[in-house]
Structure 1
Amino acid sequence: MPLPLLKKVLPAHARLTLRKLYWLSRSWLYAGRKVYCLLCEGSFRTFLPFGTERRPQALCPRCHTVERHRLLWLFLQEKVKITEKPLEVLHMAPEPRMQTRLKGLLNLRYRSADLTSPVAMDHVDIQALPYPDGLFDLILCSHVLAHVPDDAKALQELRRVLKPDGQLLLQARLHPHAQTLENPQALTPQQRLQAYGQADRFRNFGQDFGQRVAAQGFSVEAMEYALSRTPEEQTRLGLGKKEIIFVATPLVHEAK
């Protein structure tokens, strides 16, 4: 059956299940001991190229996670103690494998949310979250804000539902230019494709990403956490180069 027709006939959950089975069936082709995926706990002879730029050693052959996913999971284990602490967790735009691991932790009260994702537990707009103030100890938001019409409003909402001593962990694709690129004339998907390289983007973040987050009432620490490992270990775990985790904590938590 042609792929476009398959997408029309099968529901999203069924398509995702088929993809997982396909990945699992092919992963044996890459059996080996040179690299190790922290998320599916599989060992392989190599990670695979991925992305439009074909990043080498990026994609796990079994669970299809990439560098930033593995790095975030390492950070959650070591710095957040995600497997030990009782935490209220909100996971925006959940990555399927990450969600599976987090949902399996009995110490967490876990919710995932997205506007349209079939794997998300709640279908919500990040710019108008339905959750009460100060509910979550931890919020994960990876590669989301570039795809939101008003990233400032989204950050304000994330701050509102975060506990005063909570943490918001952010990841984003950062472009080399100093300032974030936003074109107010790019209104249609085709215009956004031309402006940002993706039809569903509303901006290309520059090196000022941390400052943009801080402007919405956060203290922000940028952590290149892969550097906590030797170069050899970075390669073995497929952590990637220059992946940054932004750890944002509320400066003031104002009740509204």
Structure 2
Amino acid sequence: MSICNICGGQSFVAGPGGRMSSTGKPPKCQSCFSLERHRSLRQVYLKLTKFIPFKSLSALQISPDKAIQPEWFASLEVSIYGSHNSIDIQSIDRGDKSYDIVVCNHVLEHVKDDSLALKELMRVTSERGFLQLGVPDPCRLRKTKDWGYPDEKQHGHFRLYGSDIQEKFQQVFPPDIHQLKVLMDDPATGMTDVYFFFTRSEFIASVIREDLNQ
């Protein structure tokens, strides 16, 4: 039986537009409305909490995400663009290394200058923490399609990322920043999603490399 790892729900229905998961299963939890990406990311953080002392770390979350629980951290600031505590990730009005953990999922595709946004997100991340990033299905395409404007037919995205997104990371970040790719399954549908981590910490890098994908 499929169980939602966010709310414990056991009833699932079709997702937006009536779609099924890539595994053929209904993806939307009827109780908390989570989708595959929320539950796979929850799995990532549930594993990380076993090794990283989140309770002593501050966090910034760019856009609300059902996968993240505020009580995990010493503090959690949430930005809702154009609404409550709106932060433009191309120009973050915060000091260097203001947060230990920065969480940014399904946002980068909505900004015009993604290189600048990546630099800003890393700038406000402390040396003992990490930046965690997710974008929609970067493994589906080989090369990123960037049309340079927010296309409402594509949910307001400036681009659809391909697997070459990692080349973008290599261009933007200096070599002292560890860049790590994590694959994680949604326990309800079995769909695999991709997440990226960036850290200056050898300890964090080793945890992700050695423990997260087990």
TM-score of the pair, normalised by structure 2? 0.79
Separation in 1, partners of 2:127, 2:189: 31
Are 1:139 and 1:167, in contact at CA under 8 Å, matched by a contact in 2?
Answer: yes
Q: 2:145 aligns with which of 181, 206, 219?
A: 181
Q: 1:206 aligns with which of 129, 153, 162?
A: 162
Deviation at 1:57, TM superposition (A): 2.8
Q: 1:238 aligns with which of 174, 179, 188?
A: 188
Are 2:9 and 2:31, in contact at CA under 8 Å, matched by a contact in 1?
Answer: no
Match of 1:203, SS state, is strand
Are 2:90 and 2:117, in contact at CA under 8 Å, matched by a contact in 1?
Answer: yes
Residue of structure 2 in register with 1:134 after alignment: 97
Unpaired segments ≥5 residues, structure 2: 202-214
Are 1:150 and 2:113 counterparts?
Answer: yes
Residue of structure 2 in register with 1:50 after alignment: 15
Are 1:127 and 1:150, in contact at CA under 8 Å, matched by a contact in 2?
Answer: yes
Where has structure 1 moved over 3 Å in runs of 4 or more?
51-54, 80-85
Indicate the structure with greater helix content.
1
Separation in 1, partners of 2:42, 2:89: 23
Deviation at 1:246, TM superposition (A): 1.0
Residue of structure 1 in register with 2:209 after alignment: none
Match of 1:224, SS state, is strand
Are 1:59 and 2:23 counterparts?
Answer: no
Residue of structure 2 in register with 1:12 after alignment: none
- Relative contact order higher in (CA < 8 Å, ≥ 6 apart): 2
**Higher radius of gyration, 1 or 2:** 1
Deviation at 1:141, TM superposition (A): 0.7
Are 2:20 and 2:26, in contact at CA under 8 Å, matched by a contact in 1?
Answer: no
Residue of structure 1 in register with 2:38 after alignment: 69
Q: Which amino acid aligns with 2:99?
A: F
C-alpha spacing 1:144/1:79, structure 2 compared with 1 (3 Å): same
Separation in 1, partners of 2:172, 2:128: 16
Aligned identity (percent) is 26
Are 1:210 and 1:246, in contact at CA under 8 Å, matched by a contact in 2?
Answer: no
Are 1:112 and 2:78 counterparts?
Answer: yes
Q: Which amino acid aligns with 2:5?
A: L
The Cα offsets for residues 184-212 of structure 1, whole Å up to 9 and x where unpaired, read as 4xx4x5xx24xxx4151101101112221
Structural RMSD (CA): 2.3
Unpaired segments ≥5 residues, structure 1: 1-33, 227-233, 252-256
